[in-house]
Amino acid sequence: MVAELEELTGPGQVAPGGSPEAKDDYTHDEALGLTPVTPQAVVWPEDAAQTSRIVEWANARSVPLTARGSGTGLAGACIPRPDGVVVAFDRMHTIVEIDTANQVAVVQPGVTLQQLDEATGREGLVYPVFPGEQSASLGGNVATNAGGMRAVKYGVTRHQVLGLQAVLGTGEMIRTGGKFVKATAGYDLTQLIIGSEGTLALVTEAVLRLYPRPTHTATVLAPFASLPACTGTVPDLIHTGVGPLMIEYIDVVTMAALAGTGDLELGVPPAVQEQAVAYLVVVLESHHEDRLQEDTATVAELLAGAGALDIYVLPAAAGAQLISARERAFWVAKAAGADDIIDVVVPRADIAPFMEEVSALAAATSSWVSGCGHAGDGNVHMSVFQADPQKRSEVIEGILRAGVGRGGAISGEHGIGIGKRKYLAAIEDPAKLDLWRRIKTAFDPNNVLNPGAIFE
Amino acid sequence: MVAELEELTGPGQVAPGGSPEAKDDYTHDEALGLTPVTPQAVVWPEDAAQTSRIVEWANARSVPLTARGSGTGLAGACIPRPDGVVVAFDRMHTIVEIDTANQVAVVQPGVTLQQLDEATGREGLVYPVFPGEQSASLGGNVATNAGGMRAVKYGVTRHQVLGLQAVLGTGEMIRTGGKFVKATAGYDLTQLIIGSEGTLALVTEAVLRLYPRPTHTATVLAPFASLPACTGTVPDLIHTGVGPLMIEYIDVVTMAALAGTGDLELGVPPAVQEQAVAYLVVVLESHHEDRLQEDTATVAELLAGAGALDIYVLPAAAGAQLISARERAFWVAKAAGADDIIDVVVPRADIAPFMEEVSALAAATSSWVSGCGHAGDGNVHMSVFQADPQKRSEVIEGILRAGVGRGGAISGEHGIGIGKRKYLAAIEDPAKLDLWRRIKTAFDPNNVLNPGAIFE
Which of chain A's residues have a Cβ under 8 Å away from the Cβ of B416? 184-186
Asked if the Cβ–Cβ distance from A101 to B176 is below 8 Å, we say: no
pLDDT score at A266: 85
Residue A345: what residue type? V
pLDDT tens track for B343-370: 999 999 999 999 999 999 999 999 999 8
Residue A414 has pLDDT above 90, yes or no: yes
Residue A23 has pLDDT above 90, yes or no: no
Contacts with B73 (C-beta within 8 Å, 6 or more apart), sequence order: B29, B30, B31, B140, B143, B144, B414, B415, B417
**Backbone phi and psi for residue B173, each to the nearest 5 degrees, phi listed first:** -105, 135
Residues of A in contact with B378 (CB under 8 A): 102, 179-180
All residues of chain B having their beta carbon less than 8 Å from the beta carbon of residue A379 are 180, 182
Number of inter-chain CB pairs under 8 A, A vs B: 265
Chain B hits for A212, Cβ within 8 Å? 238-241
Residue A380, pLDDT score? 96
B455 min Cα distance to partner chain A (Å): 8
Give the A window 269-288 contacts with B, CB below 8 Å: 287-288
- Which chain B residue is nearest to residue A154, measuring alpha carbons? B181
C-alpha count within 13 angstroms, C-beta hemisphere, residue B184 = 33
pLDDT at A262 over 80: no
pLDDT, residue B222, reads 97
pLDDT for residue B256: 86
Confidence band of B266 (pLDDT split at 50, 70, 90): confident
pLDDT at site A261: 72
**Chain A partners within 8 Å of B431 (Cβ):** 168, 172-174
A411 within 8 A of A344, measured Cβ to Cβ: yes
Question: Taking CB atoms and an 8 Å limit, are A182 and B436 in contact across chains?
Answer: no
Confidence (pLDDT) at A264: 79
Of A176, A179, A287, the CB nearest to B347: A179
Is pLDDT at B442 greater than 90 in this prediction? yes
Q: What's the gap in Å between the CA of A262 and the closest CA on chain B?
A: 31
Query: Nearest chain B Cα to A232, which residue?
Result: B101
Contacts of A186 in chain B (CB under 8 A): 416, 424, 428, 432-433, 436, 454-455
Residues B183-191 have a mean pLDDT of 97
Three-state DSSP state, A199: coil
| Sign (positive or negative) of CA dihedral A404, B193, B438, A145 | negative
- Residues A218-235 have a mean pLDDT of 96
Decide if pLDDT at A164 tops 80: yes
Strand-pair category, B278-286 with B211-212: unpaired
- The pLDDT assigned to B332 comes to 87
A260 touches chain B (CB under 8 A): no
| Per-residue confidence (pLDDT) for residue A303, from 0 to 100 | 98
- Kindly report, residue by residue over A58-107, the tens digit of the pLDDT: 999 999 999 999 999 999 999 999 999 999 999 999 999 999 999 999 99
Is A298 within 8 Å of chain B by CB? no
Closest partner CB to A182 (pick from B197, B214, B413):
B413
Phi, psi of A421 (to 5 degrees): -65, -30
* Whether A381 contacts A344, CB under 8 Å: no
Residue A245 and residue A150: Cα distance in Å, rounded?
5
Q: Which of the four pLDDT bands, split at 50, 70 and 90, describes residue B98? A: very high
The pLDDT of residue B267 is 86
Q: What are phi and psi of A96, to 5 degrees?
A: -65, -40
Angle, helices B351-364/B389-405, rounded to nearest 10 degrees: 160
pTM of the model: 0.97
| Nearest-by-Cβ selection for A346 from B104, B158, B180 | B180
pLDDT of B263 strictly over 80: no
Q: Which of residues 105-144 of A touch B (CB under 8 A)?
A: 124, 144
Which residues have a Cβ under 8 Å from the Cβ of A356 and sit 6 or more positions away?
none
Are the beta carbons of A181 and A162 closer than 8 angstroms?
yes
Give chain B's mean pLDDT.
96
Residue of A nearest to B350 (CA): A102
Q: What is the mean pLDDT of residues B233-249?
A: 96
Tell me the one-letter amino acid at A325: A
Would you say the C-alpha torsion A235, A237, A239, A242 has a positive or negative sign? negative
Contact (Cβ atoms closer than 8 angstroms) between residue A359 and residue A238: no
Cβ pair A452, A417 in contact under 8 A? no
Q: Percentage of chain B surpassing pLDDT 90?
A: 91
Q: Residue B264: what pLDDT?
A: 79
Interface test with B, best of A97, A156, A160, A187 (most B CBs within 10 A): A187
Average pLDDT over chain A, rounded to whole?
Answer: 96
Whether the CB of B232 is below 8 Å from some CB of chain A: the reply is: no
Chain A nearest-CA residue for B147: A182
Complete DSSP assignment for A240-263? TT---SEEEEEEHHHHHHHHHHTT
Give the amino acid at B3: A
Task: With H, G, I as helix, E, B as strand and everything else as coil, classify residue A301.
Answer: helix
Q: pLDDT band at residue A332, thresholds of 50, 70 and 90? A: confident
Per CB-CB distance under 8 Å, the chain A contacts of B435 are 168, 174, 189, 442-443
Q: Is A190 helix (H, G, I), strand (E, B) or coil?
A: helix
Give residue A330's pLDDT.
87
Decide if B347 and A409 are in contact by the 8 Å CB cutoff.
no
Residue A306 to residue A304: CA distance in whole angstroms: 5
Residue B441 contacts A where some CB pair is shorter than 8 Å: yes
Buried b (16+ CB within 10 A) or exposed e, B225-241: eebbbbbbbbbebbbeb
Reported as a single tens digit per residue, the pLDDT across B56-71 is 999 999 999 999 999 9
Buried b (16+ CB within 10 A) or exposed e, B45-75: beebebbbbbbbbbbeeebbbbbbbbbbbbb
Taking the C-alpha atoms of residue B25 and residue B419, their distance in angstroms, rounded to an integer, is 18
How high is the pLDDT of residue A254? 86
CA angle B182, B188, B194 (to 5 degrees): 105
- Picking from A184, A239, A348 by the largest number of B CB atoms within 10 A of its own CB, the best residue to mutate is A184
Side chain identity at residue B216, one-letter code? H
Q: Is residue B231 pLDDT above 90, yes or no?
A: yes
The span from the CA of A331 to the CA of A32, in Å, is 11
Beta strands (DSSP E) in A104-200 are: 104-107, 125-126, 161-168, 173-177
Residues 376-405 of A with CB under 8 A from B: 377-379
CB neighbour list of residue A283: distance below 8 Å, 6 or more residues apart? A149, A217, A218, A219, A220, A244, A245, A246, A319, A323
Average pLDDT score over residue span B189-218: 97
CA-to-CA separations, A84 to A37, A61, A87, A144, A451, in angstroms, rounded: 10, 11, 10, 21, 10
Are A377 and B182 in contact (CB < 8 Å)?
A: yes
For chain A, helix, strand, coil in percent to 5 are 40, 20, 40
pLDDT digits (tens, 9 = 90+) for B2-43: 999 999 999 999 999 999 999 899 999 999 999 999 999 999
CB atoms A102 and B439 under 8 Å: no
How many degrees, rounded to 5, is the angle at CA B330 between CA B329 and CA B334? 115
Tell me: pLDDT of A201 over 80.
yes
**Residue A141 banded pLDDT, cuts 50, 70, 90:** very high
Q: How many Cα atoms within 13 Å fall on the side-chain side of residue B157?
A: 32
Instruction: Provide CB contacts within 8 A for B386, sequence distance 6+.
Output: B339, B365, B366, B367, B368, B392, B395
Q: Work out the pLDDT band at A439, boundaries 50, 70, 90.
A: very high
Beta strands in A85-127 (DSSP E): 85-88, 95-99, 104-107, 125-126
E strand or H helix that includes residue A385: strand A379-385
Pairwise CB contact (< 8 Å): B180 & A101: no
3-state DSSP call for residue A60? Answer: helix
- Helices A316-327 + A252-261 axis angle, to 10: 110
pLDDT at B446 over 80: yes
Residue from B187, B194, B287, B400 to probe the interface with A (highest A Cβ count within 10 Å): B187
Instruction: With CB atoms and an 8 Å threshold, state whether A174 touches B429.
Output: yes
Give the whole-angstrom CA distance, residue A127 versus residue A277: 34
